[in-house]
Structure 1
Amino acid sequence: MVFLNPGKTGEEFWDGYVKFMQAAASDLGMQLRVLDSQRDRDLMLAQARTVLQGDSKPDYLLFINEQYAAPEILRLAKDSGVKLFAVSNTLTPDQQHVLGSSREIYPNWIGSLVPNDVDAGYMMATGLIQHARESHSGQPLEMLAFSGVKQTPSSQQREQGLKKALAENPDVRLRVIAYGGWQWQRSYDQARTLLPRYPNVNMVWTASDEMAFGVMQAAQELGHTPGQDIHFATINSSAEALQAKIDGRIEVLVSGQFTIGGWALVMLHDYDNGVDFAKRGGKDRTLPIYVELDETQAARLAKHVVGKDNYGLDFRRYLLQKQSKLRDYNFSLRPLID
């Protein structure tokens, strides 16, 4: 197995994502190699070319449609004999209109597993608005939003969820959506400009925790107190984000997507052993994995995130080949938080 990791080496979210994958691979007896693309699309494609056209090809390549790189990865994989599986971000509907979905024009692209990012964006926004209403009764509600990368489906979908929540709460004024590119520094710089420009903002929605902490640092430097006069909602499960939820600086924290790669390995293990997930729930799946964490759940998840164990999970128990009566998988964040 090779995983093309779009993130940077040492980037906390992707470190946690890979850690969960490695726990699954260890339990399942799979060899997993991870290539960090350093958020460089050209490097990712060069890595894909080496993997798919080199002398020592893997059985499976897991890829992400970060910055719309997936179509080129599929083209590189043609006639390679390597099976491809999309995780976290699959091809957009427009891309699939041209290139087909899995097992069509590119039959060695066998499936995909992505989280329900529209729901995540919506959960963050509705929870954030509720906290702001309770804290600022009778006052205008104003929001800044920090999205990720325009050319990445998860970023677009989280934004869709945000806009759905805003449509249901027309009294909330969204001042601007900034594109922080998933980066602490960029979001910090943007917030240093935007917060003074919009002094009545009392809500910040961010599409990742790295961006949340960049904005939070700027807000504190400008005299704000997170969790009091300005409220934060974000997504991910870094140790810092979980602690910020516990101590109240982040009031709405949604998590779950770091498990996607590990669950994909369970599906591929079944596939490699003759149990085709396409016949047991479908070849392309959107997993309702996200949970809005309370303080107790954040503390429980934090123990797994900072620990060195395999999250207390036996990944073999999730294999359908061992549970012939089950029609589908039961992947969930619940065993890690309840």
Structure 2
Amino acid sequence: MNRRTILMSVTAIGLALTSVASAQGLPPLEKKERYKVGFSQMESNNPWRIAETKSFVDTAESCNWDLITTDAAGSAAKQVADVESMIAQGIDVLFLPPREEKPLIPAVKRAQAAGIPTFLVDRSVDPNAAVAGEDFVAFLGSDFIDQGRRVAEWLSENFEGDKGVIVQLEGTTGSSPANDRKKGFDDAIAADDRFEIVASQTGDFARDLGRQVMETLLQAHPDVNVVYAHNDEMAIGAIQALELAGRTPGEDVLVVSIDGTRDALQAIIDGKMGVTVESSPFFGPLACEVMNRYADGETIEPWVQVQDRIFTAENAADHIDEAY
């Protein structure tokens, strides 16, 4: 094969990849040995976020990434600015866990305008403002509605009292996991007339704020006997508040949650928590796989769904060594 034939073949492949991406309304991704990859983390104030960032860092070498990471420290405005900085640095691909559904739309749009394929990781954005397959390539993550539903179903099956008085600790206001975990749980638990949600308040996915909110809600609702937290950090904070108030988590109040952290699995083993539905932070390998598929010219499904396990007293000890 002569040089001219090789050049024609490479050009044909490039045009084919461009046509696939254009059909999706997306920027193409050239196939090459190394990529400059941006990962815009929203914050690093809890084990889940730290584990997620580490997963990307650990994947960078095996996936031939020159990885740029940022930390928005819980600020949606800073996260938008972080993405703009990455665009200016000439990244090839962006992986973005948007802190909130609406404020991160500008970041998604600017990456799209700059010709950078963007993958939303573990959280999505408002589907009325940005659409997978058009404004960004795909969402990589769990079914948050299903997570909430599974917690509610476990609670309904395992609650032994006559009446469940529920306090709900919500995640970050305006975020897709908080919105969906609430909907999934609320809709499912409404089918069991033994339960009443007497209070639902944000704890911003944070342990200390979850503890503070739980302390306040306990004063207003001393008869609470179920706590549903949108993540394990708030659940652990709630357990601390309950114990300080003289309550006994696991006996006179049932705590249920989502994430699958090491602390939560230990709380289940210790009898202080009933269940946690997994929401894995280990997105690095999946991000590498999906990015390479896209570079190969494959049409990526709009939602690359992660399958989540459920941890209870029956299996928590079997999985705690692999937890974060």
Give the TM interval when normalised to the shorter protein.
0.7 to 0.9
Of 134, 149, 152, the match for 2:175 = 152
Which residue matches 1:302?
320
Which residue matches 2:25?
none
Of 104, 116, 127, the match for 2:154 = 127
Of 70, 73, 76, the match for 1:38 = 73
Q: Which shows bigger deviation, 190-199 or 228-237?
A: 190-199
The C-alpha deviation readout for 1:51-72, integer Å capped at 9, x for no partner, is 11x2x31111111232223311
Which residue matches 1:315?
none
CA contact (8 A) 1:128 1:232 kept: no
Which residue matches 1:285?
303
**CA deviation after TM superposition for structure 1 residue 78, in Å:** 4.2
Which residue matches 1:235?
258
**CA deviation after TM superposition for structure 1 residue 93, in Å:** 2.8
Of 240, 250, 275, the match for 1:217 = 240
- The 1-side partners of 2:74 and 2:66 are apart by 24
Which residue matches 2:139?
112
**CA deviation after TM superposition for structure 1 residue 142, in Å:** 0.8
**CA deviation after TM superposition for structure 1 residue 35, in Å:** 1.1
Counterpart of 2:96 in structure 1: which amino acid?
A: F
- The 1-side partners of 2:315 and 2:91 are apart by 38
Counterpart of 1:119 in structure 2: which amino acid?
A: D
CA distance 1:277–1:267, change in 2 (3 Å): farther
Q: Which ranges in structure 2 are unaligned for 5 or more consecutive residues?
A: 1-36
Which residue matches 1:14?
49
Of 178, 187, 198, the match for 1:164 = 187
Counterpart of 1:259 in structure 2: which amino acid?
A: F
CA contact (8 A) 2:144 2:180 kept: yes
Q: Which shows bigger deviation, 23-32 or 87-96?
A: 23-32
- The 1-side partners of 2:81 and 2:297 are apart by 32
- The 2-side partners of 1:299 and 1:30 are apart by 35
CA distance 1:268–1:300, change in 2 (3 Å): farther
Matched residues, percent identical? 21
Counterpart of 2:298 in structure 1: which amino acid?
A: D
TM-score, normalised by the number of residues in structure 1? 0.79
- The 1-side partners of 2:212 and 2:69 are apart by 31
The C-alpha deviation readout for 1:3-29, integer Å capped at 9, x for no partner, is 111122x52111112233334334333
Which residue matches 2:225?
202
**CA deviation after TM superposition for structure 1 residue 295, in Å:** 4.2
The C-alpha deviation readout for 1:115-141, integer Å capped at 9, x for no partner, is 1100101111221233322xx2xx321
**CA deviation after TM superposition for structure 1 residue 92, in Å:** 2.2
The answer to whether structure 1 residue 102 and structure 2 residue 135 are counterparts is: no
The C-alpha deviation readout for 1:251-300, integer Å capped at 9, x for no partner, is 1111133134541221002222x14142xxx2x11515221113464334
CA distance 1:93–1:110, change in 2 (3 Å): closer
**CA deviation after TM superposition for structure 1 residue 211, in Å:** 0.7
The answer to whether structure 1 residue 182 and structure 2 residue 205 are counterparts is: yes
CA distance 1:176–1:304, change in 2 (3 Å): same
**CA deviation after TM superposition for structure 1 residue 30, in Å:** 2.7
The C-alpha deviation readout for 1:173-217, integer Å capped at 9, x for no partner, is 110111111122222122112113212211100001111111111
- The 2-side partners of 1:182 and 1:285 are apart by 24
The answer to whether structure 1 residue 84 and structure 2 residue 102 are counterparts is: no
CA contact (8 A) 1:219 1:225 kept: yes
CA contact (8 A) 1:6 1:38 kept: yes
Query: Over alpha carbons, which structure has the higher Rg?
Result: 2
Which residue matches 2:90?
57
The C-alpha deviation readout for 1:95-153, integer Å capped at 9, x for no partner, is 24xxxx2343x4xx2222221100101111221233322xx2xx321111011122111
CA contact (8 A) 1:22 1:262 kept: no
TM-score, normalised by the number of residues in structure 2? 0.82
CA distance 1:20–1:78, change in 2 (3 Å): closer
- The 1-side partners of 2:284 and 2:199 are apart by 33
The C-alpha deviation readout for 1:212-253, integer Å capped at 9, x for no partner, is 111111110111111111111111132211211222211111
Number of residues paired by the alignment? 287
- The 2-side partners of 1:110 and 1:201 are apart by 44
Which residue matches 2:275?
252
- The 2-side partners of 1:23 and 1:299 are apart by 26
Q: Which shows bigger deviation, 191-200 or 151-160?
A: 191-200
Q: For 2:85, what is the secondary structure of its paired residue?
A: helix
Q: For 2:227, what is the secondary structure of its paired residue?
A: strand
* Moved >4 Å (runs of 4+): none
CA contact (8 A) 2:168 2:201 kept: yes
- The 2-side partners of 1:65 and 1:29 are apart by 24
- The 1-side partners of 2:168 and 2:148 are apart by 11
- The 2-side partners of 1:290 and 1:76 are apart by 32
